[in-house]
Amino acid sequence: MLRIAVPNKGRLAGAAAQMLREAGYRQRPSDSDLVCRDEPNQVEFFYLRPHDIATYVGSGDLQLGITGRDLLVDAGGPAVELLDLGFGGATFRFAARPETITDPAKLPGHRIATSYPGIVRGYLAEHGLDAEVIRLDGAVENAIGLGVAEVIADVVQTGATLRQAGLAPFGEPILESAAILIGGPDRPVDGGVTQLQRRLQGVLVARSYVMLAYDVHAETLDAACQLTPGIESPTISPLHREGWVAVQSMVRRAEVHRIMDELYDLGARAILVTDIHACRL
């Protein structure tokens, strides 16, 4: 049975479980359950602290896991990223009081508080910088006000927490994080693993595309198909009405309204958009 690590709480937990449900997997009925067996799919889900997931997958005890890219980098391998899951986006950055330090080159001699010491030590080593790293469990923005450190390195999404603490980010983001699917370094080619990957890819496509259907005069079909080329090729069906055809094509959700406007201007009519609930390309 395939064994998969899923965040048990925190920012990624709800969205990870939702994505697995959309991919057709059973998820735990209660937030306090730590294991959930999905017999029909032959998968067992283990609900673990997000910071521990790369360790379980890296050791090979679990075959796959969902975690944050920053958490994978912090663990320092050997697990590897397999797929960006399109949620949980955030940056990982240095921040300080703006009047104190604004350049990462000036980090030596400062204390850096963080919940991600692996990322910070990796950055310092890569840039030949020497600074003290202080590991804290969370709420690291308080570390500067409380005199524990002069600099923090933390997850920044909206930046509201930094602003509230009177801090400003500096330097380029250390990394751009997102929720990812991870696997062990020497994954055997396993049918269950490829099936899960394909299903999650299907969810990503279903979320970012819609199905567009419309009727158009055969004379303008080529121009219409240029607007809606689809992923493979649009489906064209004859209509009872002489000289007209029906077209069906997948289009990016973000572009659908612009495309509908342009199709209408071309003379297309009965333009309908429907959600895709699942797909396998």
Ligand X SMILES: Nc1ncnc2c1ncn2[C@@H]1O[C@H](COP(=O)(O)OP(=O)(O)OP(=O)(O)O)[C@@H](O)[C@H]1O
Q: Tell me: does residue 169 bind ligand X (CB under 6 A).
A: no
Identify which of residues 49 and 97 has a Cβ nearer to ligand X in the complex: 49
Rounded CA-CA distance 115/122 in Å is: 14
- Judged by beta carbon distances under 5 to 8 A according to partner kind, the member of ligand X, ligand PRP, none in contact with residue 91 is none
Instruction: Candidates 55, 63, 177, 228: give the one binding ligand X (CB under 6 A).
Output: 177
- Judged by beta carbon distances under 5 to 8 A according to partner kind, the member of ligand X, ligand PRP, none in contact with residue 159 is ligand PRP
Least Å from the CB of residue 195 to ligand X? 25
Residues that bind ligand PRP (CB under 6 A): 138-139, 141, 154-161
Q: Tell me: does residue 53 bind ligand X (CB under 6 A).
A: no
DSSP string, the chain: -EEEEEESSSTTHHHHHHHHHHTT----SSTT--EEEETTTTEEEEEE-HHHHHHHHHTTSSSEEEEEHHHHHHHTSS-EEEEE-S---EEEEEEE-TTT---GGG-TTSEEEES-HHHHHHHHHHTT---EEEE-SS-TTHHHHTTS-SEEEEEESSSHHHHHTT-EEEEEEEEEE-EEEEE-TT----HHHHHHHHHHHHHHHHHHEEEEEEEEEGGGHHHHHHH---SS--EEEE-SSTTEEEEEEEEEGGGHHHHHHHHHHHT-EEEEEEE------
- Judged by beta carbon distances under 5 to 8 A according to partner kind, the member of ligand X, ligand PRP, none in contact with residue 30 is none
Identify which of residues 139 and 231 has a Cβ nearer to ligand PRP in the complex: 139
- Judged by beta carbon distances under 5 to 8 A according to partner kind, the member of ligand X, ligand PRP, none in contact with residue 154 is ligand PRP
Rounded CA-CA distance 44/56 in Å is: 14
Q: Tell me: does residue 88 bind ligand X (CB under 6 A).
A: yes
- Judged by beta carbon distances under 5 to 8 A according to partner kind, the member of ligand PRP, ligand X, none in contact with residue 48 is none
- Judged by beta carbon distances under 5 to 8 A according to partner kind, the member of ligand PRP, ligand X, none in contact with residue 18 is none
Least Å from the CB of residue 270 to ligand X? 42
Asked if 167 contacts 99 with a C-beta cutoff of 8 angstroms, the reply is no
Least Å from the CB of residue 150 to ligand PRP? 17
Least Å from the CB of residue 142 to ligand PRP? 9
Q: Tell me: does residue 18 bind ligand X (CB under 6 A).
A: no
Residues that bind ligand X (CB under 6 A): 7, 10-12, 50-51, 68, 70-71, 88, 90, 138, 155, 157, 177
